[in-house]
Structure 1
Amino acid sequence: MRFILLILLVPFIAAAQPTDYSNSVLYGERNGLAELPDTYRIFVDRNGDLYPGQTLPDSLVSAADASLAKLYERRPDLFPTAQPSFAAYQDSLLQANLHVINRLAANNTDVFAFVHGFRKPFRPVAGGRTAQSEYLLLQQRIRNAAPDTTRPFFIEIYWDATYDCCFGFKAKQNRALFQLFELQAQRHASVAGYRLRPLLAGITTDKLHLIGHSLGTRLVVTAAFNAYADDVAQELRAEATPGQPLVDICLIGPAIAGSAFEHYYLRGNKELSNQDNYHLSIFYNRKDFVLKKRVFIFGPGPRRYGDTSLGADRRRSVAKLSELFSEVYPGSGLSPYRVSIGKSHALRHYSGTEEFRTYLGGLW
Structure 2
Amino acid sequence: MLWILIAGCARPVYYGWEASSNGATTGGDIARLYFDRNGNLYPGADAFLAVDNKRLAKAGADLQDYYQLPAARKEQAAQRLEYERLQAHYGVPLTPSNPADTSVNYPAWRRLQEAMLTQFIARFNQHLRTSRPEVLVVLVHGFNNEVGATRWYPALQREIRTNQFKGRRVQFLEVYWDGRTASGVGLLRIWKQAQATMYPVGLGLRRVLASLDPATPLYLFGHSTGAPLLSVALWNSTSVLGNAKGPRLRNQTYRALVKQPEYATPHAAQVRVAFVAPAMPSLHFMDFAHRTDATGKLFTQAAPDGYQRFVVGQNRHDIATGKGPLSATAFGSTTLGVRKAEYCGDGTTPPRIGVVPLLRQAGSRADTYLFNFTPGMAAAGKRPGHGILEFMADPVTFDHLLDAWLTAKPVAGADACP
Q: Same fold (TM over 0.5)?
A: yes
2:337 counterpart of 1:311 = yes
CA distance in 2 between partners of 1:13 and 1:282 (Å)? 28
**1:299-321 Cα distance to aligned partner (Å, 9 max, x none):** 2210002211111116x111112
> What is the CA–CA distance in structure 2 between the aligned matches of 1:236 and 1:210, rounded to whole Å?
23
> Which position in structure 1 is the counterpart of 2:327?
301
- What residue is the counterpart of 2:274 in the other structure? 250
Are the structure 2 counterparts of residues 284 and 74 from structure 1 closer, same or farther at C-alpha, using a change threshold of 3 Å? same
Q: How many residue pairs align between the two structures?
A: 331
Query: In the aligned structure 2, how far is the partner of 1:27 from the partner of 1:225?
Result: 27
Residues 168-225 of structure 1 show CA distances to partners (whole Å, capped at 9, x for unaligned) of: xxxxxx3x4312122x111112221122211111122521111110111121111111
Spell out, residue by residue over 1:239-293, the C-alpha distance to the aligned partner (whole angstroms, 9 max, x if none).
1111110121111110011111111111234324355422322111212121111
Does the Cα contact within 8 Å between 2:268 and 2:305 map onto a contact in 1? Answer: no
Residue 89 of structure 1: which of 94, 112, 116 is its match? 112
Question: Which range moves more in the overlay, 22-31 or 211-220?
Answer: 22-31
Instruction: After superposing the two structures, state which structure 1 stretch, 203-212 or 347-356, moved more.
Output: 347-356
Provide the residue aligned with 2:302 in structure 1.
Answer: 273
Q: Does 1:354 align with 2:396?
A: yes
**Whole-angstrom distance in 2 between the partners of 1:154 and 1:304:** 34
Question: 1:215 pairs with 218, 225, 239, which one?
Answer: 225
Spell out the pairing of 1:1-364 with structure 2 (5 A cutoff).
9-11=1-3, 23-30=11-18, 37-53=28-44, 54-75=49-70, 77=80, 78-79=82-83, 80-81=86-87, 82-83=91-92, 85-106=108-129, 107-123=132-148, 130-131=149-150, 133-148=151-166, 150-165=168-183, 167=184, 174=185, 176-182=186-192, 184-204=193-213, 205-228=215-238, 230-232=246-248, 233=253, 234-238=255-259, 239-268=263-292, 269-271=297-299, 272-273=301-302, 276-278=305-307, 279-294=309-324, 299-313=325-339, 316-320=341-345, 321=354, 322-340=356-374, 341-342=377-378, 343-351=384-392, 353-362=395-404, 363-364=406-407
1:135 and 1:361 mapped to 2: Cα distance?
A: 17
In percent, how many aligned pairs have the same letter?
24
8 Å contact from structure 1 (residues 339, 353) kept in 2: no
Q: Which amino acid aligns with 2:67?
A: Y
The structure whose Rg is larger is: 2
User: Is the alpha carbon distance of 1:43 and 1:32 closer, same or farther for their aligned partners in structure 2, counting shifts above 3 Å?
Assistant: closer
Alpha-carbon separation, structure 2, partners of 1:328 and 1:263 = 8
Opposite residue 345 of structure 1, the aligned amino acid is H
Contact 1:275 1:331 in 2 (8 A): no
Q: Is the 8 A contact 1:38 1:105 kept in 2?
A: no
2:104 aligns to what?
none
**Deviations along 1:53-88, whole A, 9 cap, x unmatched?**
220101111111111111222256324224251101
Gaps of 5+ in 2: 71-78, 94-107, 346-353, 379-383, 408-418
Deviates more, 1:185-194 or 1:148-157: 148-157
1:202 counterpart letter in structure 2: S
TM-score normalised according to structure 2 size: 0.73
SS of match in other structure, 2:321: helix
Single out whichever of 350-359 and 209-218 deviates more from structure 2. Answer: 350-359
Structure 1 gap segments, 5+ residues each:
1-8, 124-129, 168-173
Displacement, 1:336?
A: 2.0
| Higher RCO (CA < 8 A, seq sep 6+) | 1
Q: Which moved more, 1:256-265 or 1:99-108?
A: 99-108
Distance 1:270 1:157, change over 3 A: same
Post-superposition offset of 1:98: 1.2
Amino acid across the alignment from 1:142: I
Provide the rounded CA distance (Å) in 1 between the counterparts of 2:304 and 2:338: 30
**What amino acid maps onto 2:225 in structure 1?**
L
TM-score by length of 1: 0.83
1:44 Cα deviation after fit = 0.5
Partner SS, residue 187 of structure 2 = helix
Residues 323, 52 of structure 1: alpha-carbon distance in 2 compared, 3 angstrom cutoff? same
- Give 1:40's aligned amino acid: A
